Chain A
Amino acid sequence: EAQVTQNPRYLITVTGKKLTVTCSQNMNHEYMSWYRQDPGLGLRQIYYSMNVEVTDKGDVPEGYKVSRKEKRNFPLILESPSPNQTSLYFCASSFWTGGSEQYFGPGTRLTVT
């Protein structure tokens, strides 16, 4: 089954404790992206990647890192999480051509206390 998976689905952590949210897709998509969704603010893009080893900042990259060492994986790293990073996070992927037809993961609900 074609899908985007994220882990963990739920995470409660404390300020400053490094964490990684994994994202994996099995559709051989070139493009991958991370969003966060907050009430009243809609989806905001954090980082995106056009292909392996090619990443770039989205609209709200501060406090986040990403890497794209393999085509299928695009982990989101929070080096020192803070309470303002409490949010619902989505990973998405698509082909290079027709990239607006995106497939989203189920979401990771992160709470930083």
Chain B
Amino acid sequence: DAKTTQPTSMDCAEGRAANLPCNHSTISGNEYVYWYRQIHSQGPQYIIHGLKNNETNEMASLIITEDRKSSTLILPHATLRDTAVYYCIVRVDSGGSNYKLTFGKGTLLTVNP
């Protein structure tokens, strides 16, 4: 899996968009970008993933640059409950393999009232 780099922490005002960056300059052509988050001591939660096109679901949007060397997770209207550690993971998804997830240190997003 390609290495990722994320800021250690970020702050965001409640109701504003939270933009979390991730650098993955060594990403391979068949590697996906995944985002998870973990609210304190709760189980990690899958957010979104993409290969090269921008993706949106009910939780967030994922913007991947054209060269795929970086991406941004966007929470459009952050709430206090979005305070969590956010993890960016780059990996290949090949059927029949061990889908072990390896989280780095992630970004602690603090949403302030």
Which residues of chain A have a CB within 8 Å of any CB of chain B? 4, 31, 33, 35, 42-43, 45, 48, 50, 56, 58-59, 88, 90, 92, 94, 96-107, 109
Contact = CB atoms under 8 A, between A and B. Distances in A.
Interface in B26-56: 32, 34, 41-46, 49
Nearest to A6: B43
Interface centre among B32, B45, B95 (most CB of A within 10 A): B95
B99 A33 contact: yes
A50 B44 CA distance: 20
A66 to B, nearest CB: 14
Interface residues of B, number: 23
A56 B98 contact: yes
A107 B43 contact: yes
A107 B49 contact: no
29 contacts: A42-B102, A43-B44, A45-B100, A45-B101, A48-B99, A50-B98, A58-B100, A88-B41, A92-B43, A92-B44, A94-B99, A97-B93, A98-B93, A99-B93, A100-B32, A100-B34, A100-B91, A100-B93, A100-B99, A101-B34, A101-B49, A102-B46, A103-B46, A104-B43, A104-B44, A104-B45, A105-B43, A106-B42, A107-B41
